[in-house]
Amino acid sequence: MSEIFSYERLYNFAYNVFCNIGCNPGDAKLATSVLLSADLRGVDSHGVARLTGYVRLWEVGRVNAAPAIKVSYETPSTAVVDGDAGLGLVVAPFAMKVAIGKARIAGTGWVSVKNSNHYGIAGYHAMLALEDDMIGISMTNASALVAPTFSIERMLGTNPIAVAIPAGDQPPFVADFATTTAANGKLEILQRKQEPAPFGWVQNKDGQPSTDANELKSGGALLPLGGDREHGSHKGYALGSIVDIFSAVLSGASYGPWAPPFPAYVPMPENMPGVGLGHFFGAMRVDAFRPASEFKAHMDNWINRFRAATPVPGEEKVLIPGDIEREMEVFRMAGGIPLVDPVVQDLQQLAQKLSIIF
């Protein structure tokens, strides 16, 4: 069961929550916009459903609501940003803007971030580059839930990659995906419905393929994109590793199985090799390669041609990355955002605890 809430209502609530824990109004607005962009775009696992999780991290002292985010090292096209344990929702846009600033002068900008926290949906940050006619890239490491090919142990997060590419008359190309077969949010939906997961999504605690959507609770793991070796899981494992290394080994954040876990009740790993969670951002000016008008005309041509590809029987058309999320955004901004009952109850409890109207 679920209930529908207007964007404004959820926005006001989340904004008040962020203010309540000590964010200044600018940061609270930014964090709320990033968080709710997930709900609008249909990535329900990364929206207000996570709000209580952020508050809990603040309660245990792992989130600093008033961080002094700074560039700690830089070259003409690179920088390292120290997030000062701030909300990733605030640290990430700061870092992406540093990348965009570098790209204005050097053609491209690349920023690796340490000492941060969960940054919401990857796509939001990548899309910040679009208005400047730049390609935006965003990735982050995350709590270790994923077993590499041949591993029983969870060593990587779902480590998403987002790439946003501007077009002309067409809407932009926006890919935003976890480097696992399925994101954890999709597994949670199956758990609620008490339905099995397809093979290739999870393995059990002994490293065997499983269709039990609850495997993660009993020591199992998510699987890298590909699912098993025969279907290319070593490629998903490599992608997740690249995200981990760019986000955390380059910056000095904590990596691999040492990535700080999102749930505040999970103890921090021992002997962490770096500080907090890591992200990686890139911005490339398209006119650092060819005139922007030319590039955008060819992107329109690319998009039109792919949209016109003959679909398989039973499917209406071939989609361009970003199509579904963009349509969902329009739909939910007008018609409201559905939240499942457990999320509604969770937010009601949070409202009560902080004495905020929901």
Touching a copy of itself, residues 318-337 (CB under 8 A): 318-319, 321
272 binds a copy of itself (CB under 8 A): no
Question: Rounded CA gap, 358 and 352, in Å?
Answer: 9
- Closer residue to a copy of itself (CB): 35 or 103: 103
Q: 213: which residues sit within 8 A by CB, 6+ positions away?
A: 187, 190, 191, 195, 196, 197, 202
Name the residue among 351, 352, 353 with its Cα closest to residue 15. Answer: 351
Contact between 57 and 31 (Cβ < 8 Å): no
143 binds a copy of itself (CB under 8 A): no
Applying the rule CB under 8 A, the residues between 84 and 123 that interact with a copy of itself are: 105-108, 110, 112
32, 181, 184, 247: which one contacts a copy of itself (CB under 8 A)? Answer: 181
- Closer residue to a copy of itself (CB): 43 or 339: 43
Beta strands 78-82; 108-116: pairing state: parallel
CB of 318 to a copy of itself, least distance (A): 5
Question: Rounded CA gap, 237 and 156, in Å?
Answer: 8
CB of 184 to a copy of itself, least distance (A): 13
CB of 198 to a copy of itself, least distance (A): 5
- Closer residue to a copy of itself (CB): 53 or 171: 171
User: DSSP for 195-218?
Assistant: -PPPTTSEE-TTS-EE--TTGGGG
Quick one: how far is CA 347 from the chain centroid?
21
Beta strands 337-340; 2-5: pairing state: antiparallel
CB of 311 to a copy of itself, least distance (A): 5
198 binds a copy of itself (CB under 8 A): yes
CB of 45 to a copy of itself, least distance (A): 16
252 binds a copy of itself (CB under 8 A): yes
**Dihedrals φ, ψ of 149, to 5°?**
-50, 130
- Closer residue to a copy of itself (CB): 107 or 336: 107
- Closer residue to a copy of itself (CB): 27 or 82: 82
16, 33, 52, 149: which one contacts a copy of itself (CB under 8 A)? Answer: 149
Contact between 188 and 209 (Cβ < 8 Å): no
Name the residue among 134, 139, 329, 326 with its Cα closest to residue 239. Answer: 139
2, 24, 75, 293: which one contacts a copy of itself (CB under 8 A)? Answer: 75
**Options 117-125, 126-134, 292-300, 343-351: segment touching a copy of itself (CB under 8 A):** 292-300
**Options 14-22, 42-50, 206-214, 327-335: segment touching a copy of itself (CB under 8 A):** 206-214
Contact between 147 and 223 (Cβ < 8 Å): yes
2, 25, 73, 196: which one contacts a copy of itself (CB under 8 A)? Answer: 73
152 binds a copy of itself (CB under 8 A): yes
123, 157, 274, 276: which one contacts a copy of itself (CB under 8 A)? Answer: 274
Question: Rounded CA gap, 308 and 310, in Å?
Answer: 6
CB of 8 to a copy of itself, least distance (A): 32
Question: Rounded CA gap, 237 and 89, in Å?
Answer: 26
Name the residue among 264, 332, 352 with its Cα closest to residue 2. Answer: 332
Contact between 167 and 299 (Cβ < 8 Å): yes
